[in-house]
Structure 1
Amino acid sequence: MSVPKRLAAGLLAALLIPAAAVATGAEPAPPEAEARPAEPRPIEPRLTVERGGPGAPRVALTFDACDGGADRRILDVLVENRIPATFFVTAIWIRRNPAALALLKAHPDLYAIENHGARHVPAIDRPTMVYGLKAAGSPEAVRAEVEGGSRAIEAATGRRPQWYRGAGAVYTPATIAAIRAMGFRIAGYSLSVEAGTRLDAHKAAERLGKARDGDVVLAHANHPAWPTGAGIAAGILALKEAGFQFVGLDEPAARGR
């Protein structure tokens, strides 16, 4: 005997009701009620400078100084060879390294001192972790981080910084808009030497040697005890020997996305 159509439909409907709804007697929630808006993915902006061409390739050296000390192996190579660079420093680094700061300030034609924040906190406006660092977590905390770093630089140098690079160099669309509204340009990069790791000298020099015409290089100058700094110093000299011209982020104009 075949099952009547009405009974068959009822059995099928019962099988399709989720177990939780059967247990509570509740109606299944519509799909749109369960959906949550996806959080915007962090953005890691890219930045390059105008290329110089095969005969005079250009590269912009940028160094983050988060906390810790000052790597004189890198600073001495830059100063002795009059190689320009941009330093992104935190308020913490400024307090801990007055001699290194004085060295940079003594060569304003070569070294720009830019904003890396007050406490080296990633400029993400929601609670999360970035490379092991606890993010700012709110728009208000992002603003405090950016403005605190700017005030420290202005107090130490008499100059308001023009560029900002947050800890981890990642942002949300909202924080990028907010930082720009504060009057800062976002300093991305196109080549990271350390890529978030501690390298031996050979590997660091090898990474820096991969720089191409127009690259904005990101490295760190606040780990004097690491072997990485020796490799970065050697890599800078190798680029010079290869005919690279070193430029700041504003000469020629940097282009980012």
Structure 2
Amino acid sequence: MHLPQKHLCMIAMSVALISSAHATPLVEPTLHIKPAASGTGRVALTLDACGGKTDTRILSALVDNKIPATIFVTGIWLKRNAEAVAIMRAHPDLFELENHGGRHIPAVDTPQKIYGIRSAGSPEAVLAEVESGAAALATTGEPAPKWFRGATAEYSPSAIAMIRKLGFKIAGFSINGDGGSLLGAKETARRIAAAKDGDVIISHINQPTHAAGEGVVQGLLALKDKGMTFVRLDDADGTGNHGTTD
């Protein structure tokens, strides 16, 4: 039986509406590190390198002020930023490079959009995103990554389980420093400077033209002036919810 085209269109629209209504609930995991045993506290700075270029304001400030950071890199960013990668590799005491996926695709195994970015859409595509990111890092000579952070930092619970079975811990955060690099310098600096003992900060190092980068530097220097210690995720006991680290 052949249905008229308009009926087929109506059926497709109905299926789309039902799928949207039953979209998999997503989670945005948090992550904290073990508080300092003494002193003014410690925080973990994590910076996403999604694509595009490198914000040298941030990179230079980290090197000049000896501030350790965990950098989540995509395969896309690695291909375009050899000079920045070389600087990071020249300072292994400061930089830990971890897996942000091969193509910056959200680790969600059902078809949907998150912040306008199309999800992986299937279990196979989630695995491909994670494994291609790890493979891209392997070409740099860096140690095998232990942490993964997906694009948008939102996940379907089933994707979290798959990623954990691959052996990766999933990096949430407790402070969104730069709002996806879309905040102004003042608000970004305020958020980062407000970090407390045990916090994990997320910001971005791939948007050199955004005002947020200036705020990242200001906020980090404010924390340093307070005597806060910075640690990489690999050097701290991180505890996340939703089964992301246990």
Q: TM-score over 0.5 for the alignment?
A: yes
Q: Is 1:140 matched with 2:121?
A: no
| SS of match in other structure, 1:86 | strand
Q: Which amino acid aligns with 1:49?
A: I
Q: Distance in 2 between matches of 1:66 and 1:113?
A: 13
What is aligned with 1:219?
203
Check whether the contact 1:125–1:175 (CA below 8 A) recurs between aligned residues: yes
Q: Secondary structure at the match of 1:152?
A: helix
| Map of 2:222 onto structure 1 | 238
Matched, 1:105 2:93: no
Distance 2:43 2:142 in 1: 28
Give 1:88 shift.
Answer: 0.1
Indicate conservation of the 8 Å contact 1:53/1:213, yes or no: no
Kept after mapping to 2: 8 A contact 1:73/1:229: yes
Contact 2:181–2:204 (8 Å) recurs in 1: no
Cα distance in structure 2, aligned partners of 1:57 and 1:214: 7
- Does the Cα contact within 8 Å between 2:105 and 2:117 map onto a contact in 1? yes
CA separation in 2, counterparts of 1:117 and 1:180?
A: 14
Name 2:163's counterpart in structure 1.
179
Query: Helix, strand or coil: the match of 1:250?
Result: helix
- Corresponding residue for residue 77 of structure 1: 61
Give a deviation string over 1:176-227, Cα, whole Å, max 9, x none. Answer: 0100111111000000012236122112111111211100000000000111
- 1:106 partner amino acid: A
What one-letter code is carried by the residue in structure 2 that aligns with 1:225?
A: T
Q: How far is the alpha carbon of 1:39 from its aligned partner?
A: 4.7
Residue segments in structure 2 that go unaligned for 5+ positions in a row: 1-17, 242-246
Secondary structure class of the residue paired with 2:98: strand
Q: Within 5 Å, which residues of 2 pair with 1:94-133?
A: 94-133=78-117
SS of match in other structure, 2:219: helix
SS in 1 for 2:235: coil
CA RMSD of aligned residues (A): 1.6
Q: Deviations over 1:95-122 (max 9, x none)?
A: 0000001010111121100000010000
SS at the partner of 2:43?
strand
* Mapped contact 1:198–1:226 kept (Cα < 8 A): yes
SS of 1:157's partner is: coil
Q: Which moved more, 1:129-138 or 1:39-48?
A: 39-48
- The answer to which of 199-208 and 215-224 deviates more is 199-208
SS of structure 1 residue aligned to 2:139: helix
Give distance in 2, aligned partners of 1:202 and 1:46.
24
Q: Secondary structure at the match of 1:243?
A: coil
Matched, 1:93 2:77: yes
- For structure 1, the 5+ residue unaligned runs are 1-33
The answer to whether structure 1 residue 170 and structure 2 residue 154 are counterparts is yes
- 1:234 partner SS: helix
Q: What is residue 256 of structure 1 aligned with on the other side?
A: 240
Q: 1:39 to 1:201 in 2, by over 3 A?
A: closer
Q: Percent identity?
A: 48
Given that 2:120 and 2:126 are in contact with CA atoms closer than 8 Å, whether structure 1 keeps it comes out as yes
Rounded Cα–Cα distance in structure 2 between residues aligned with 1:127 and 1:39 = 8
1:63 aligns with 2:23: no
Distance change in 2, residues 1:178/1:138 (3 Å)? same
